């Protein structure tokens, strides 16, 4: 019984970390699709690609950049 409990805990941890990684990968995409207007998505994608050369999109720097760009655009109007 002890081996089965250990196996269940290990499996639970693996599933938890796999789901956490999946959420970390999908969450920035969902934010961009839901919150960024369609006409600004291409510009944001180019900006994020230039600012972050890593494979994974970093959520907070991308959001700060998007907010800064949006505020600058509103200030110009």
Supply the DSSP string of 5-53, one letter for each residue.
Answer: HHHHHHHHHHHHHHHHHHHHHHHHHHHHHHHS-HHHHHHHHHHHHHH--
- Could you tell me what percent of the chain has a pLDDT over 90? 19
Of the pLDDT bands very low, low, confident and very high (cuts 50, 70, 90), residue 39 is confident
pLDDT value, residue 9: 93
Overall number of domains in the chain? 1
pLDDT tens per residue across span 40-77 = 888 877 776 666 555 555 666 777 888 888 899 889 88
pLDDT value, residue 58: 63
How many Cα atoms occupy the beta-carbon half-sphere of 15 within 13 Å?
Answer: 6
pTM: 0.45
Cα distance between residue 6 and residue 52, in whole Å: 40
- Could you tell me what percent of the chain has a pLDDT over 70? 82
């Amino acid at each position: 019984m002890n081996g089965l409990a250990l196996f269940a805990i290990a499996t639970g941890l693996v599933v938890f970390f796999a789901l956490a990684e999946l959420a970390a990968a999908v969450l920035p995409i969902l934010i961009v699709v839901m919150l960024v207007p369609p006409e600004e998505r291409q510009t944001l994608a180019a900006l994020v690609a230039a600012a972050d050369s890593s494979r994974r999109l970093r959520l907070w720097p991308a959001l700060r950049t998007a907010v800064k760009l949006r505020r600058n655009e509103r200030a110009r109007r």
